[in-house]
Amino acid sequence: MAQADEAAPGPTPTPGPTSGTAAGERPRLGIGMVGYAFMGRVHSQAWRSAPAFFDLPARPVMAALCGRSAEGTARAAEQMGWAAVETDWRELIAREDVDVVDICTPGDSHARIAIAALEAGKHVLCEKPLANTVAEAEAMADAARAAAARGVYAMVAFNYRRVPAIALAARWVAEGRLGEIRHVRAQYLQDWIVDPDFPLVWRLRKELAGSGALGDIGAHIIDTAQFITGQHLTQVSALTETFITRRPLAETSAGLSAGVGGGAETGEVDVDDAALFIGRFSGGALASFEATRFATGRKNALRIEINGSAASVAFDFEAMNELWFHDHALPAEEAGFRRVLVTEPGHPYAGAWWPPGHGLGYEHTFTHEVKDFVQAIASGTAPSPSFDDGLRVQRVLAAVERSAADQSRLTAVRQT
């Protein structure tokens, strides 16, 4: 099996101040965001809604939005509630009214933006995966540790940690309710590129995305599994596959969808469409992982099951307010998985929202992310997941790619 190397721990950070306001008021925390597409829209909603539902120790102010197109950025800023616009991320970082840089761009730009922001004394929230390569992730983690010593903090945006049911599962594991962890099964199943005429968007280009389903959604289940178990992957053995190797260029896809088709120019898909791998956790548990964008009929099925010596938990994001629990101590006549509706005030995050039974959605996970990040900054404590956590995931992604490339530990099936 390919080794999933461990990231070295950093020093204990020291508290750092945020921008202040008049006496008696919560300190102002100016937010500057880079990128305004799908993830930028989600993050914008989170910055708007977090102060309305959580008693935050600092007051987030959506100071400036950055994008390459002045017209497009201005339109997005007006729609999503940003006060100003920049077209150069360096100018965004230089703004005196920006205390936090929120990075919602493709992975190829994460390292240079995050490192520059941290060196400029800005806190950083960065989308996942942390980077496109281990070397970039290492540089980012180094910069984050150095910044933390000055009271400047960084967090990677693995939002699924903030699903109440997933946070509850992690709590139960930490309390010992599952006993010794023996098996982990994790899947992330989508189908949005099954159509061969779907265009060659940036997520299908290695130079921009780093990898395909592996880095985009596989990173999520790696982090989720490590978060719930409190352990890390140490070995992997993998297969990856690209089912459709050429696709219409994005600029020609409008003609295809209108029925023009035929001679449209295409480009190479140089990332994986699906990744399968097995692994071993630091506590000895065995694991299986599946990440694919070709699970026809599955829209956003992040699934995870943890089997312990005393109990099991199971979760599927397509029913995100439910956690299934099996208590192995019960008599066989009574035993079985039972459904826990994770909407009670005592459940993680749920008490800030609606009455029990009124479920939460995808967008709430990002609001919880903002809430936790602001609290960490204001209290001068290291936020989680840290850039070191992001680096740990990046090392696993790299090990999976190495294993798939050299077919390590794959044994041929004898046919005769």
More confident residue, 413 or 106: 106
For residue 330, pLDDT over 60 is answered with: yes
Residue 248: closest CA among 236, 234, 265, 232: 265
What integer best gives the mean pLDDT of the chain? 92
Phi, psi of 273 (to 5 degrees): -90, -25
Q: Which fold has domain 164-319+321-360?
A: Dihydrodipicolinate Reductase; domain 2 (3.30.360)
d(CA 267, CA 2) in angstroms, rounded, equals 31
pTM of the predicted model, to two decimals? Answer: 0.91
Phi, psi of 226 (to 5 degrees): -65, -35
What tokens does 46 get? Answer: 């989170």
All CATH 3.30.360.10 domain ranges in the chain, comma separated: 164-319+321-360
Which pLDDT does position 264 carry in this prediction? 76
User: Which is the CATH superfamily of the domain at 2-160?
Assistant: NAD(P)-binding Rossmann-like Domain (3.40.50.720)
For residue 11, pLDDT over 80 is answered with: no
Q: Average pLDDT of 172-196? A: 98
Report yes or no: 30 and 98 within 8 Å, Cβ to Cβ: yes
Which pLDDT does position 407 carry in this prediction? 81
pLDDT digits (tens, 9 = 90+) for 189-244: 999 999 999 999 999 999 999 999 999 999 999 999 999 999 999 999 999 999 99
For residue 253, pLDDT over 60 is answered with: no
Which pLDDT does position 25 carry in this prediction? 84
First to last CA, the chain: 27
Which DSSP symbol is given to 4? -
Which pLDDT does position 256 carry in this prediction? 39
The CB density around residue 226, as the number of other CB atoms within 10 Å, is: 23
Q: Give residue 263's pLDDT band: very low, low, confident or very high (50, 70, 90).
A: low
Q: Give residue 416's pLDDT band: very low, low, confident or very high (50, 70, 90).
A: low
Which pLDDT does position 9 carry in this prediction? 37
Q: Average pLDDT of 370-399? A: 97
CB-based burial, 61-74: b 16+ in 10 Å, e otherwise: bbbbbbbeeeeebb
For residue 260, pLDDT over 70 is answered with: no
All CATH 3.40.50.720 domain ranges in the chain, comma separated: 2-160
152 beta partners: none
- Strands 84-86 and 338-341 come out as unpaired
d(CA 180, CA 226) in angstroms, rounded, equals 15
Which pLDDT does position 410 carry in this prediction? 63
